[in-house]
Amino acid sequence: MRAIARRRSALVAEPRGRFGNAASVRARRRQAGGSSTTGPGGGPTLTVGPGDMAVLRAGDRTTWTVHETLRKAYAISL
């Protein structure tokens, strides 16, 4: 029997603030608007803006700081 990958996708908005994320599944996200910085807890950060894409592997732990309300599209593989 062949396994079929299940995927989910959504378009969401995140308000200003700071939050941590522990990815439980592989996720891809493309930022459609706003600005944020992200990075591993205690590590270097990256500035993320409109058109940028991020790929998170299952188990990745990141901290996000949203500077301007952002809109993002994401897809996860279950």
Split the chain (78 residues) into runs of 10 and give each run's mean pLDDT: 66 90 82 90 85 85 90 82
Give me the pLDDT at residue 50, please.
93
Domains in the chain (CATH in brackets) are: 7-77 (2.60.120.10)
CA distance 17 to 2: 43
Q: Cα separation of 36 and 46, whole Å? A: 8
Look at residue 8 in the predicted model and tell me its pLDDT: 79
pLDDT recorded at residue 4: 55
Query: pTM for this one?
Result: 0.73
Check if the beta carbon of residue 50 is closer than 8 Å to that of residue 31. Answer: yes
